[in-house]
A and B are shown apart, each in its own frame.
Chain A
Amino acid sequence: DVKVTQSSRYLVKRTGEKVFLECVQDMDHENMFWYRQDPGLGLRLIYFSYDVKMKEKGDIPEGYSVSREKKERFSLILESASTNQTSMYLCASSPRKTLLYNEQFFGPGTRLTVL
């Protein structure tokens, strides 16, 4: 069964802390993505990666960085957490294949609260 796992379901951090969100997929997918989900705004892409050690900025990269040292793992880093980063964070992966059928597989999400 296809699986994307995220390190935590719920996380509470303080302003200024460095926060790591981990995502692991077991499908040997090339592409991995980080989104944040906020009410009324849908999903917004933060960063994505086409391959190991490669990363591309999404639509809202400010305040975030990422790391992809291994194919199966994609980490999202909040260098100095702020209250406006309180959100649901979703990780997804997809196979490279072709541009069509580009279905994404999602993890369960991490609900991050920054106090």
Chain B
Amino acid sequence: GNSVTQMEGPVTLSEEAFLTINCTYTATGYPSLFWYVQYPGEGLQLLLKATKADDKGSNKGFEATYRKETTSFHLEKGSVQVSDSAVYFCALSGNTGGFKTIFGAGTRLFVKA
């Protein structure tokens, strides 16, 4: 079945450091891929998405490229801020899963000033 694997956290960085959170997926066909972010005390919100191979999703300085050959969708940001401290979830949807979304376990990011 479909699945999403993302790197375990927590990830601790200093402000302005480069961020990478790895995400790989298993799916047949061509799912849509997403990154969601959950700030403390809140629900999840969509950060970015990509719907086909080689698409790049971007938002708020974050980027991720849909790589079908490596079944990956790694999240990157060139310079993190304290306000980026949150939990990040990689997810996939569509394909044979219908309207269901499969989420990774989440990666907690701490950014120190």
Contact = CB atoms under 8 A, between A and B. Distances in A.
A104 B101 contact: yes
B61 interface: no
Contacts of A98: 94
Nearest to A41: B105
B94 A99 contact: yes
Nearest to B9: A40
Contacts of A75: none
Given A90-B43, A109-B43, A102 B101 contact: yes
Contact of B34 (A92, A96, A103, A108): A103
Secondary structure class of chain A's binding surface, majority of residues: loop
Contacts, number: 62
A101 B94 CA distance: 8
Interface in A39-58: 40-43, 45, 48, 50, 58
A108 B42 contact: yes
Interface size class of chain B, counting residues whose CB lies under 8 Å from the partner chain: 20 to 34
A61 interface: no
Contacts of A101: 32, 49, 51
Contacts of A105: 46
B21 to A, nearest CB: 14
Interface in B90-113: 93-95, 98-101, 103-106
